[in-house]
Amino acid sequence: MPPRPAAPRLTPRRTGLGLAAVSLLLLTGCFAESSGTASAEGTGGTTDARIRAAMMQPPRSALSPFSDDAFKLSRWSTGETLVRLDEAGDAQPMLATEWEQLDETTWSFTIRDGVTFHDGTELTAQNAADSLARAVAAEPAPRILDGVEMEVTAEGDTVRVSTAEVDPLVPQRLSSPQLSILAPAAYEGTTVTPVGHGTGPFELTSLDGTSGATLERYEDYWGGAAAAAGIDVSFVPDGTARAAALRAGEADVVESVPVGQAAQVDEDLLTEVPMPRTNTLYLNTEDGPFTDPALRAAAREALDPQSLVDGVYEGRADTAAGLLGPALPYAAAGRDTDEYRQALEGRAAAGDPAGQKITIGTFTDRAELPEVAVQVQQQLESAGFEVELDVREYQYIEADALEGDFDAFILSRATVLDSGDPVAYMVSDFGCDGSFNLSQFCSETVDDALTAAEQATPGEERRQAILAAEAAILAEDAAIPMLHERVIQGEQSGVEGAARDPRERELITAETTAAE
């Protein structure tokens, strides 16, 4: 963490903390005083208790909603969007109560009555449209709008959204925290200030640089007052310090406890949340040994993902049955069909590596990947390959990987991007014109499947098309999914109602409470 002007005063919520634990927290300088206590009203009402949250990364852009900082605004329930996503990734009402598609490129969203921003301004269709228009005009554009031409206007009590091309995912796009609706006063020139300008159950009242933030219950929240009195946020990049805070009772909710620290924490305080992130071995299909489908099949047969889960991730991951993991509940069910199985029946049989030399690249930025690479090397060598590893920092290896300089590349890849939909990831990684095609892969069959998925209507039709595209990709062995990662979330005993969200959009909600 960056140095602070002075260490915070600690008032432990629970008595009897060991001196060593308190000393460690003083050294890390991260946790705010907790002044509240639970009221006697019990669940269902408001309390005086505050929630102390330890977040992994400090803001990079002063909490601008146009950046990845937007996900902090949503995880603290201070910034809200027109729609939200349910577990299946389908759009549900939020600041918009309903919507309809007027034509192929135009959508209309009806704005909820009775909503006020934290500065007291009323939410109207006009200021909602103005807020979205600011995002559309931002430079650089929010990632969710990358490559999307969009125009936003107000029509009575509705917001009208028009796109240059047909886009069935417009409602899902508008669920991105990067399109949070903020009060008009939040915008001044190119600067966006979310402090005091959201619509959620908690009002962001202060941001202390990269050290912490404070939020208070917004009594006039349209959905009813939050249970907790507020949130005291500390930014704690050091994973050891976050785990120590959980052990010592100095944080109520902790983001991302490192796997290596989990054994030091009471298991009852940990929750493992499946992430839409897959650890995958991409095979170069354009140049080198893996142009041969039989050798790609040999690599697939040689790998033992369970040993990676057990050895590297200490059992805190899921072996991969496909590109998409348990964070997408429909994926497993979608594979249990005759159509899916038939798509894989034509995969090439494994050939004999016969000492083929291959180079595998990966990077050090994610701590587990170098160890994964070593185990993959051993498994492939046992099958008859001769393997050399090239491990660097990501910034020094990405360009070479994209150029196809490796025979294989190990990547921890997010499979669900900002719209909550995996099609963009599949097109990027496996489409003939994909911008992140590490496998240098091009297949007319796969491109046709991806096009069908892109054009499918959100819901069951789109989910079936997504699984059909996954099967087409796996049938070519362009990439071998190995495991799906989990994030370990810490929750102090007595915490109730904290969100366990694979998309990392929600954390502290209006229902979250922390007891004595």
CB 82 within 8 A of CB 127: no
Query: How many whole angstroms separate alpha carbon 287 and alpha carbon 396?
Result: 21
3 state SS of 207: strand
Q: Please state which of the ranges 30-34, 166-170, 227-231 shows the lowest mean pLDDT.
A: 30-34
CB 496 within 8 A of CB 513: yes
Query: How many whole angstroms separate alpha carbon 464 and alpha carbon 472?
Result: 12
The residue with tokens 């493992």 is 272
Using pLDDT thresholds of 50, 70 and 90, give the confidence band for residue 420.
confident
Taking only the tens place, the pLDDT of each residue in 364-377 is 988 899 999 999 99
Average pLDDT of 11-15?
32
pLDDT value at residue 87:
86
CB 251 within 8 A of CB 234: yes
Query: How many whole angstroms separate alpha carbon 322 and alpha carbon 480?
Result: 8
Going by CATH, does the domain composed of 19-76+200-252+492-514 fall within 3.40.50.460?
Answer: no
CATH of domain 274-486: 3.10.105.10
pLDDT value at residue 418:
77
DSSP string spanning 140-164? SPPGGGTT--EEEEEETTEEEEEES
Taking only the tens place, the pLDDT of each residue in 319-356 is 999 999 999 989 988 899 999 999 999 899 999 999 99
Average pLDDT of 281-301?
98
pLDDT value at residue 25:
36
Taking only the tens place, the pLDDT of each residue in 499-516 is 999 999 999 999 999 975
Taking only the tens place, the pLDDT of each residue in 117-160 is 999 999 999 999 999 999 999 998 898 988 899 999 999 999 99
Helix (H) or strand (E) holding 131: helix 125-137
Using pLDDT thresholds of 50, 70 and 90, give the confidence band for residue 19.
very low
Q: Angle 19-28/239-248 helices, nearest 10 degrees?
A: 140
What residue type is 405 in one-letter code? D
Residue 490: HSE in the Cβ half-sphere, 13 Å Cα cutoff: 34
pLDDT value at residue 516:
58
Structure tokens of 141? 């554009």
Number of H helices, E strands in the chain: 15, 21
Query: How many whole angstroms separate alpha carbon 485 and alpha carbon 416?
Result: 13
pTM score of the predicted model: 0.82
Domain residue extents for the chain: 19-76+200-252+492-514, 83-188, 274-486
Q: Is the pLDDT of residue 259 over 90?
A: no
Give the CATH superfamily of 83-188.
Dipeptide-binding Protein; Domain 1 (3.90.76.10)
